[in-house]
Amino acid sequence: MTSFWQDRRVVVTGGAGFLGRVVTARLRAAGADVMVPRSRDYDLTVPDVAEALLAETQPSHVVHLAARVGGIGYNQAEPAPLYLSNLLMGTYMIEAARMAPSVEKTVLLGTVCSYPKFTPVPFREESLWDGYPEETNAPYGIAKKAHLIHAQVNAQQYGQRFAYLIPTNLYGPGDKFHPSVSHVIPARIKRCVEAKERGEEKMDVWGTGRASREYLYVDDAAEAIVLAAEHLESTEPVNLGTNREVTIRETVELIARMVGYDGELVWDPTKPDGQPRRRVDPGRAEDLFGWRARMPFEDGLLNTIDWYLTNRAEAEREP
């Protein structure tokens, strides 16, 4: 870690969220003065709020993590607010950062959900615009992808500096386990633990199990964000991933084994699989700012299960 962050002020929107807490801790440890606006005080979907926030805080860097995020069920149930709130938050934040004299650079978080449904694996950044995303991901994924264009045209016309990162599915301690918003890993950990406690002989699982995902440990993602904020000088998007593809079936079986649930897994193919395959090429991140994911999946999963078992009330809190 360099002295770059000493005494710099950083606004981390969404800094109290799953990823945001780890990013904030990392920046503070590096010496930055970090301000975390909460949505109850600064609703970033409301016009002028982002501008007021930056006028009050005068940061040199903005890390925009605020978003509405959930798993496949949430994406299906709430497509309209997912699209609009994510689009508005990013749009207002990018524009406010462009106009704020103190802001040197803005870090934006995209999502692997922006990639087309059918994309050559591993996904390369050049393929981002080659097709429509998987239907359940599209409202969220397209809203986030629009921020890339916004930042690129602002860079072209006004010289705004930004970094745009595309992480794969995040997991780790601090994740959200409430069923209304949980992703596959926390959702399955919670179900396996409950099924074991209740002595259930069978457990239903959505989909065929054949779809694949790539999981990125939250600390690895946070490290990439802080490095990119300091070093990345490209107007092109940059993938963040591990290069390891795991099927949903392997994921659930591994979790069941780690949790000690030995009942039968009953797959329900009438429920959606989501995107058929996911694995990104993380080479650009290594080339441009020397980042590579470090946490082995099995170790990260054990850490996540341990954290859940010791923090169940906090983990399952309704958002």
Ligand X SMILES: NC(=O)c1ccc[n+]([C@@H]2O[C@H](COP(=O)([O-])OP(=O)(O)OC[C@H]3O[C@@H](n4cnc5c(N)ncnc54)[C@H](OP(=O)(O)O)[C@@H]3O)[C@@H](O)[C@H]2O)c1
> Please, which residue, 17 or 207, has the CB nearer to ligand X?
17
Annotate each residue in 207-246 with x if it binds ligand X (CB under 6 A) or - if it does not, as one string.
----------------------------------------
Output 17 or 261, the one with its CB closest to ligand X: 17
Q: For ligand X, which residue of 10, 12, 14, 154 counts as binding (CB under 6 A)?
A: 14
- Using only the alpha carbons of the chain, give its radius of gyration: 19
Closest contact distance (angstroms) between CB of 6 and ligand X is 26
| 69 contacts ligand X (rule: CB under 6 A) | yes
**Contact call for residue 189 and ligand X (CB under 6 A):** no
End-to-end CA distance of the chain: 34
Q: How far is the CB of 216 from ligand X (least distance, A)?
A: 8
The backbone torsions φ and ψ at residue 273, rounded to the nearest 5 degrees and listed phi first, read -85, -20
Q: Return the residue of 11, 12, 45, 203 that touches ligand X, per CB under 6 A.
A: 45
| 109, 205, 255, 285: which one binds ligand X (CB under 6 A) | 109
Q: Are 111 and 55 in contact (CB under 8 A)?
A: no
Q: Are strands 246-247 and 212-213 parallel, antiparallel or unpaired?
A: antiparallel
Residues 145-174 that bind ligand X (CB under 6 A): 167, 169-170
Number of residues in the chain? 319
143 vs 259, beta carbon nearer ligand X: 143
* Separation CA 228–CA 279 (nearest Å): 21
Nearest residue to 162 via CA among 101, 116, 229, 261: 229
Figure out which of the listed residues 11, 17, 114, 278 binds ligand X, where binding follows CB under 6 A: 17
| Strands 202-206 and 169-171, bridge-based pairing | unpaired
Respond yes or no on whether the N-terminal peptide bond of residue 122 is cis (omega within 30° of 0): yes
Please say whether the beta carbons of 85 and 144 come within 8 A.
Answer: no
Please state, in angstroms and rounded to a whole number, the distance separating the CA atoms of residues 67 and 143.
11
List % helix, strand, coil for the chain (3-state, nearest 5).
Answer: 45, 15, 40
Catalytic residue among 74, 92, 140, 217: 140
The vertex-305 CA angle with 299 and 306, nearest 5°, equals 90
d(CA 1, CA 229): 13
Choose which of 20, 241, 282, 300 interacts with ligand X (CB under 6 A): 20
* CB of residue 69 to ligand X, shortest distance in Å: 4
Per-residue interface string for the shown chain with ligand X, residues 80-99, x marking contact by CB under 6 A: -----x---x----------
User: Contact with ligand X (CB under 6 A): which of 75, 106, 111, 119?
Assistant: 111
Q: Cβ distance 161 to 105 under 8 Å?
A: yes
Does position 137 bind ligand X by CB under 6 A? no
Catalytic residue check, 140: yes
**Catalytic residue numbers, as ranges:** 140
Which residues contact ligand X (rule: CB under 6 A)?
Answer: 13-14, 16-20, 38-39, 42-45, 65-69, 85, 89, 109, 111, 167, 169-170, 176, 183
